[in-house]
Amino acid sequence: LHGVSPELQALNLLKTIIDKSLFIPDQLPSTVIVQEHNHVTAPSNILSETNVKKTDWFQEWPDAYEKHIYSSEDRNAQRHVSSWAMRNTNNHNSRILKKSCLGVVVCSRDCLVAEGRKVYLRPAICDKARQKQQRKRCPNCDGPLKLIPCRGHGGFPVTNFWRHDGRFIFFQSKGEHDHPKPETKLEAEARRAMKKTQSASSSVSSKLKQGPQIKLQNVRRLATPVVAAVDFPVPYLQMKPKITYLQAHL
């Protein structure tokens, strides 16, 4: 621009950059600030402890772009519970807990269990454990397992944000899950417990089947006569019987 000093051009460029970056996508609304004409003001939609009128019921399956306010006494909110398979991810803001969805593990054969539903397993949290999990077989049909990653947030995993602020816990979800729901933690624990019970019962039944044969073998061993070979010394066999005093005087 003609007649405009470089300093003014730099100020105009800085103002344009600030205007385009008013919303910070990796932060909750309560942490966003707006810079305008060298003044710092809070937007009208900021969530803080002062303007909270009521809390929400805890949502076990939050999906799409949701915002909730929970009581700080809610045990599920305190533990950041989610039935989706979420894991902690690095976040530049230490006041906000960030979690990302891992997706779901399915059977490549698309088999059905006895109840008529498909196999949807929870992915392991650790990377190595998740890779090892994909090398295992389906617990229902023994087919290979495969991981369906979550890509519901613009090609990236769905992200959940948690922030504790006084008497409330603020939650925000970004993205919509593009995969089936995995089994809950309680369902996974029940399935593993049932598998252990079935393996234990099969082991007991196999022992019971082998029981009669073992008992018969033991009876045969007991019924077999045992002949002990006793070697008497030769002098003992040739020894003459002693004559008592009474026999000598008869």
DSSP letter string, 126-162: SHHHHHHHHTSB-TTT-PBEEEE---TBTTB--EEEE
Q: What is the pLDDT of residues 161-215, one digit of tens each?
A: 999 999 999 999 999 999 999 999 888 888 778 878 876 776 666 666 666 565 5
Taking alpha carbons only, the member of 48, 65, 69, 71 closest to residue 171 is 69
CA dihedral of 172, 176, 177, 181, whole degrees rounded to 10? 70
Q: Considering the entire predicted model, what is its pTM?
A: 0.59
The whole-angstrom separation of Cα 146 and Cα 104 is 9
Q: What is the pLDDT of residues 2-25, one digit of tens each?
A: 566 776 666 566 555 444 433 333
Do 99 and 159 meet the contact criterion of CB atoms below 8 Å apart?
yes
Structure tokens at 66: 């949701």
Q: What is the pLDDT of residues 56-110, one digit of tens each?
A: 999 999 998 999 999 999 999 999 999 999 999 977 788 899 999 999 999 999 9
Q: What is the pLDDT of residues 217-245, one digit of tens each?
A: 655 665 555 555 555 555 554 555 555 55
